[in-house]
Chain A
Amino acid sequence: MSREGKEYRRIAVFGGIYNNYLALEATLEETRRRGVEALFCLGDMGAFGPNPDRVFPLLEHGKVLAIQGNYDQSLATGLDNCQCGYTDPRDNHFARLSYEYTFKKTSPENKTWLGQLPTHRRVRLGQYRLLMCHGSPRRMNEFLWESTSPNCLLEKFCRDFESDVLLFTHTGIKWHRALDGDRHVVNVGTIGRPENDGQVNVWYTILTAADGLQVEFIPVHYDCETLTQEMEHEDLPVEFIETIQTGWWTTCLEILPSKERARGKF
């Protein structure tokens, strides 16, 4: 068997659950109608949503193959911060609130489970060698935004890490770019937070090896109202709730590069 392990034709990949177990439930439900052979999660199970422990049984029951994100690594190793990689004081302020909440509310068993997840995963999709990671292949918390990820860097990643398709998340906004030589990079987006476009739905990705590589971004609608009520009940900051209700990011957005920031409301 090759290093890539099992070979697939059609898979679903998502990232950034951020404690949003209702969106996870809806995503799993959505994928059932799509004929995918396997489900992959690229990490960050926790963050600004309510009741972190509700995520884990869904992952298990849905047979989701997960890797570790920065949040998961922090929780598993008992770090006092989420390693999101923010530099701005406002971003860090809100990141701390959600991390402290999630840390307190995640059971020791689930933290242990997060600790045993791999940081990368290789699979084969048709003729393509896929490499999955959380932020970038070289650093778990590197931000790969569409407007700050130059082709020269992405091509280097494909070369250095011997892969045809790179899949990652961490930023919260999906994108796909085809590179020369039928290589591809895909930020699969996140299902825990809408993507700062004024729409309340979230997104995941389906990859199919057919005639070439097909990359489809699939919108997921879930019960935001119940999520909002639970966030209120858990005394989570109103700024977090507002994002769920409006689809606009209100926190942790100083990190956005100018192009992505310009598209949002705040």
Chain B
Amino acid sequence: MTTPSTPLLELSTLWIQVTGTWCNLTCTHCLNSSGPHNPWLKSLDTEMVTRYIKEGADLGIKEIYYTGGEPFLHKDMLLLIAHALEVVPTTVLTNGILITDQVADHLAALAQNSPYSLQIRISIDDVDPDKNDRIRGKGAFAKAVRALELLHNRGLLPILTATEILRDELPEGRGMYEQFRDLLLGLGITKPRVKIMPVLPTGRMEREGGPLLTPEMLQGFDFSLLQCSETRVVAEGGVYACPILAGLPGARLSAKSLKEALKPCDLYHTACVVCYETGMTCKN
């Protein structure tokens, strides 16, 4: 069977998987199997990240997202955020564990000094601490909540990001989105921001023999609905087509530059079906 592909319509979003799959948690549903020991994708060095930020700006990108792993494990993370914010609006996806008072102060100063928005996304998977920690690890809920409060207190308006992993276990009645909103309001976060993502069949949720996209399914399809039509990801090994498949050989488009990765990408993975069906985006 022929594998369909997505044209690159524009390069707008640049993801940087700055700590590879190195993380201080081992969430059971992690889409790239991140964890503390022997990460299968290594961190990027500061010089390389800086070079890709420059290349992205030269190509006229709109925004940068830092992800991992856990980005704040990178020794130069605050510096890298500062570099990105010099040229484009920037988002960081984090579990919040390393966001101390001091880090929050520093982030607030960076946000203040840039003309562009800095958005911090904090992951939580359930409004109940025990259920959340069963998925994300002991103490993860309390630390994420602390990060949300520290950022809110400094006017940084964090975005709570949840997956649908525990959707079926949420108390009956109000929807998932409303329950997370209530959680934030209960914490005194008066501008509650919530983003919900589907669970992706990759990493620790990878299954053999899932469905694949066919060329027929993409006849007449509006490719702008797929984020790989406007996104590229820098991770160890080069430039990849999408943040979910970063690091996988099938998603790699170049070993060395964004410019070389400005070409169509194969929709070869069963995770591509999720994007196709839900129209979801990893963006804010």
Residues of A within 8 A of B (CB): 87-90, 138-139, 145-153, 155-157, 254, 257-262, 266
Contact = CB atoms under 8 A, between A and B. Distances in A.
Contact of A87 (B61, B87, B156, B281): B281
A207 B242 CA distance: 42
Contact of A148 (B87, B89, B111, B193): B89
Interface of B: 10, 12, 56-63, 87-89, 111, 115-119, 155-157, 175, 177, 191, 193-195, 224, 281
A156 B56 CA distance: 12
Contacts of A261: 157, 191, 193
Given A147-B116, A150-B87, 4 more contacts: A150-B57, A153-B60, A157-B60, A262-B157
Contact of A147 (B61, B117, B224): B117
B1 to A, nearest CB: 33
B191 A148 contact: no
Contact of A150 (B10, B89, B224): B89
A34 B157 CA distance: 41
A89 B177 contact: yes
B60 A156 contact: yes
B61 A262 contact: no
Nearest to B119: A258
Contact of B62 (A87, A150, A259): A150
Contact of B155 (A88, A260, A262): A262
A71 B264 CA distance: 31
Most buried by B among A88, A150, A151, A254: A150
Contacts of A266: 191
The 6 closest A-B pairs by CB, nearest first: A156-B60, A257-B117, A147-B117, A150-B88, A152-B57, A258-B157
Contacts of A257: 89, 117, 119
A153 B117 contact: no
Contact of A153 (B61, B115, B118, B193): B61
Main secondary structure of the interface of A (DSSP, over half): helix
A162 to B, nearest CB: 15
Nearest to B9: A138
A157 B10 CA distance: 12
Nearest to B283: A87
Given A254-B193, A261-B157, A152 B116 contact: no
Contacts of A87: 281
Max count, chain A CB within 10 A of own CB: residue among B10, B60, B111:
B60
A149 B115 CA distance: 9
Given A87-B281, A89-B177, A261-B191, A152 B118 contact: no
Contacts of B157: 258, 261-262
Contacts of B177: 89-90
A66 to B, nearest CB: 25
A258 B117 contact: yes
A161 to B, nearest CB: 12
Contacts of A258: 111, 117-119, 156-157
12 contacts: A90-B177, A148-B117, A150-B62, A150-B87, A150-B88, A152-B57, A152-B58, A156-B59, A254-B193, A257-B119, A260-B117, A262-B155
A138 B117 contact: no
A95 to B, nearest CB: 16
B111 A152 contact: no
A155 B60 contact: yes
Contacts of A153: 12, 60-62, 88
Contacts of B193: 254, 261
B60 A147 contact: no
A142 to B, nearest CB: 9
Nearest to A264: B191
Contacts of B115: 146-147
Nearest to B12: A153
Given A258-B111, A261-B191, A266-B191, A148 B63 contact: yes
Contacts of B118: 258
Contacts of B58: 152
